[in-house]
Structure 1
């Protein structure tokens, strides 16, 4: 007999309670702090609509070493009947070994019986196996360290969204940009605009993470890249990553359906020598 969504959510709630007891010192961070509460209310009949998917990160100190790793997890509503989305990052891994590790971790998860809760087992697998990939990373770094230290692709991405309102999303954008050493801005409200600039791999990681697993009304409108030897800071248009909140107008009701003053935004772009991007983002020429 097929497992229902309700039964899957009951199992997810059970696993989250177990994981939170395993990591009581804030090693487990929920993307939406209320996601577990929403599932509980749905199961109790207090909430009628299906709760959002659970997404969280587990920050791990690998046993018997100084290595740290982060496991990012997204649980589909049909998990554990459907495979969870799991991705691991660690500064101790080069990109090749990180990809190898995640492929092997994915194979391990797929080898388990569907219907079986597996996140705690994935954590244990990571702790048992990551040292092998770290050792390989060190070996791979030896002949290429000079090139990796001096050669980069500077990248800038202009991202457009129908709107950016939710506080947890805004915090996620700021946190990810700062963690990845990206500069730029996030224009909140309606429309929403994000500009990020920095090392290309870190820009692409940011782009992959913020729209994961499914941000419908968002697109990358324009990109700029340049090969750089040495420091990249001279190519940056922005000194830091900041959130922009300009004068708004419109309906301040429950939906917070307000529009940003695009004239102020155009002036901001002008101050940073990138007013040409206004037409690319909005399809109209900016007027002063």
Structure 2
């Protein structure tokens, strides 16, 4: 198939499924690939076959590439509906890299992808590029961290983010929020329903990674309303207002099937905030003073 800018979405999705098959053959171990949405690929396939009418969600997944010291680098991939006529959105992260190495690595990967012919499938190329290059970034990170140890510990920034969304319903999204907070050692909560509110607290870089991950790539009607930061020399545990990350669900008004009428009891939510020394946030989130 010759790919042009006029190639249809259905033809692009066919190519995306073809490339997914190639990626599965590269990684026979199922643990090395994580698809966002258990049935997402089958829904795309049904759309192509004409048995599923709505335009399916874009394909989104992660591939885990091992470095020489067996640590894993995660390549997160988001494929727009018209990929490969449009560039994919890629982001690499690894516990073996610091913030500067992450930025450097992702810039180089983006430059590499941009150098390829637009219209060609390129995710397998990106995986191979990461496999070939990740170890050099890990070594650079070790060297930099070694120099840091000689001069003393770098300061830690404790951070808290208050995030507002028009609503949070989908089970898939709620699981992503919980899993992401747990992976990044963040505490706080996710208030599901309408409106939706998320609070995360912990290391600043981890909070920013959480914010980037959950809104990526196109979550509409979500905004970070307020942030709080404080530099600490040692532990940040005494600054946390929450002991874990939990999902909240209070009594609701209205029928669940009628989402425009399904509102969480904000009085109960205000009481929850007050118990966690955060009642002042209510007005920042909703523009009105809170009441029990």
Per-residue deviation, residues 126-161 of structure 1 (Å, max 9, x unmatched) = 111111111111111122136774521111111000
CA distance in 2, matches of 1:194, 1:147: 37
User: Is residue 36 of structure 2 the alignment partner of residue 31 of structure 1?
Assistant: yes
The match for 2:179 is 175
Pick from 227, 252, 256 the counterpart of residue 252 of structure 1: 256
CA distance in 2, matches of 1:271, 1:17: 51
- The answer on whether the counterparts of 1:88 and 1:98 sit within 8 Å (CA) in structure 2 is yes
Pick from 44, 48, 65 the counterpart of residue 60 of structure 1: 65
- The answer on whether the counterparts of 1:150 and 1:230 sit within 8 Å (CA) in structure 2 is no
- The answer on whether the counterparts of 2:32 and 2:65 sit within 8 Å (CA) in structure 1 is yes
Pick from 12, 19, 23 the counterpart of residue 19 of structure 1: 23
The match for 2:9 is 5
The match for 1:218 is 222
- The answer on whether the counterparts of 1:27 and 1:59 sit within 8 Å (CA) in structure 2 is yes
CA distance in 2, matches of 1:58, 1:148: 35
Per-residue deviation, residues 37-94 of structure 1 (Å, max 9, x unmatched) = 12111111112221111111112223x4322111100001110111111111111112
How is 1:1-288 mapped onto 2 (pairs within 5 angstroms)? 2-24=6-28, 25-62=30-67, 64-145=68-149, 149=153, 151-253=155-257, 258-288=262-292
CA distance in 2, matches of 1:13, 1:128: 25
CA distance in 1, matches of 2:73, 2:152: 21
Per-residue deviation, residues 95-145 of structure 1 (Å, max 9, x unmatched) = 212211111111111111112111111111111111111111111112213
CA distance in 2, matches of 1:129, 1:150: 27
User: In the superposition, relative to structure 1, how do residues 250 and 230 fare at CA in structure 2: closer, same or farther (>3 Å)?
Assistant: same
- The answer on whether the counterparts of 2:283 and 2:290 sit within 8 Å (CA) in structure 1 is yes
CA distance in 2, matches of 1:148, 1:123: 36
CA distance in 2, matches of 1:61, 1:232: 31
- TM-score, normalised with respect to structure 1: 0.95
CA distance in 2, matches of 1:82, 1:148: 45
CA distance in 1, matches of 2:267, 2:37: 33
SS in 1 for 2:90: strand
- The answer on whether the counterparts of 1:16 and 1:36 sit within 8 Å (CA) in structure 2 is no
**Aligned residues between the structures:** 287
- TM-score, normalised with respect to structure 2: 0.93
- The answer on whether the counterparts of 2:148 and 2:154 sit within 8 Å (CA) in structure 1 is no
User: In the superposition, relative to structure 1, how do residues 287 and 256 fare at CA in structure 2: closer, same or farther (>3 Å)?
Assistant: closer
Greater shift in the superposed pair: 149-158 or 87-96: 149-158
CA distance in 2, matches of 1:240, 1:273: 15
How far residue 216 of structure 1 moved from its aligned partner, in angstroms, is 0.9
Structural RMSD (CA): 1.7
